[in-house]
Amino acid sequence: MPVLKKILVVLILLAFFPSSALCAEKIVDRANIKAALLVDMESGKVLYSYNERRVIQPASLTKILTLYLVNEEIRAGNIKDTDKVRISARAAQTNGSKIFYDEGDWAVFGDLVKFMAIFSANDASIAVAEHLAGTVEDFVARMNNKAKELGMKNSNFVNPHGLPDPRQKITANDIYLLSRSYLERFPDALKIHSLPSFQYNYVEYPNRNTLLQENSDVDGLKTGYVRAAGYHLVATAKRGEKRLLAIVLGAKNPQIRDEQTKALLEYGFKNEETRNPDPMVGA
């Protein structure tokens, strides 16, 4: 391509796309993730977006919605952290990340919430759903009603924990809408999400969000993984008065997921004037 033609192409690109958006292409390794989103939580400004409306299985990010409903019930006075919950056969037989409760065991509701938020326990999620709604199916109906209320137009849920199901789906944009509302309505939830570990019966259960140990700015929120989708992370971090929410979906491994999330957060903190590469995100 002749030099003058190359210059003309560059000028056209600069005319139609902000320079910050062009540079933003380099922030994440798009070959190794499926979607990403970075938002300034105070202003709602989208600092970076990539495939934010791509439909994907949510894995344990589902638990953010489950915890949203939990916090609503606690605030309404319908449940207390000290309430006792009986573990059903369905809860005890749930696979994946779990605490290995036996059928008929009794658990403290507040402990179940910590297991969900910190260790991503699937058996705890079932126990909580059954305790709040009577059946998992009725709780899932509540989940989908709440998702609709929050404007999560491309999401659907079929269980409260995120174990694989092709009918279960979210987008980065929908997870942003959920996470933003969750943090705004229940900011005290970060007291749990930010814990590096949780001790129960003399066993230390580590937080699945390893960025809590790697980055002092990070104080939440949730990880997720299913083979069909890859590795997810919703991370919120605060530096000074500025709070960001970074979402990385479908990374090829946990290391890539963490690296890309850290890159997004650092970009956001260092570039206060970044323009929105997609003004429709969050609409």
Residue range 35-49: mean pLDDT, rounded: 96
Residue range 114-131: mean pLDDT, rounded: 98
Distance separating alpha carbons of residues 108 and 211, to the nearest angstrom: 28
Say how many C-beta atoms besides its own lie within 10 A of residue 238's C-beta: 15
Cβ proximity of 53 and 148 under 8 Å? no
Cβ proximity of 222 and 63 under 8 Å? yes
What is the DSSP-derived secondary structure letter of residue 102? P
Residues β-bridged to residue 222:
234
Confidence of residue 272 (pLDDT cuts 50, 70, 90): low
For residues 179 and 14, the model is more confident at 179
Place of tokens 């939580």: 41
Residue range 103-125: mean pLDDT, rounded: 98
In 3D space, the residue among 227, 208, 85, 75 whose CA is nearest the CA of residue 165 turns out to be 227
43 catalytic residue (yes or no): no
Hey, where are the domains in the chain?
Answer: 21-270
pLDDT of 1 reads 52
pLDDT of 24 reads 43
Distance separating alpha carbons of residues 156 and 169, to the nearest angstrom: 5
Peptide bond into 150 cis (omega under 30): no
The three-class DSSP label of residue 46 is: strand
For residues 47 and 20, the model is more confident at 47
120 catalytic residue (yes or no): yes
Cβ proximity of 178 and 65 under 8 Å? yes
The overall average pLDDT reported for the chain is 90
Total number of residues shown for the chain: 283
Distance separating alpha carbons of residues 134 and 200, to the nearest angstrom: 26
- Is residue 87 over pLDDT 60? yes
Distance separating alpha carbons of residues 41 and 103, to the nearest angstrom: 42
pLDDT of 41 reads 96
Residue range 107-133: mean pLDDT, rounded: 98
% of the chain beyond a pLDDT of 70: 87
Say how many C-beta atoms besides its own lie within 10 A of residue 68's C-beta: 20
Q: What does the pLDDT look like over 197-244, one tens digit per residue?
A: 999 999 999 999 999 999 889 999 999 999 999 999 999 999 999 999
- Residue among 49, 88, 97, 120 flagged as catalytic: 120
Torsion of CA 79, 81, 82, 84, to 10 degrees: 60
- Residue among 34, 45, 49, 60 flagged as catalytic: 60
- Is residue 71 over pLDDT 80? yes
Distance separating alpha carbons of residues 38 and 264, to the nearest angstrom: 7
pLDDT of 26 reads 77
60 catalytic residue (yes or no): yes
- What CATH number does domain 21-270 carry, 3.30.565.10, 3.40.50.2300, 3.10.28.10, 3.40.710.10? 3.40.710.10
The three-class DSSP label of residue 205 is: strand
The three-class DSSP label of residue 3 is: helix
Confidence of residue 271 (pLDDT cuts 50, 70, 90): confident
- Is residue 110 over pLDDT 70? yes
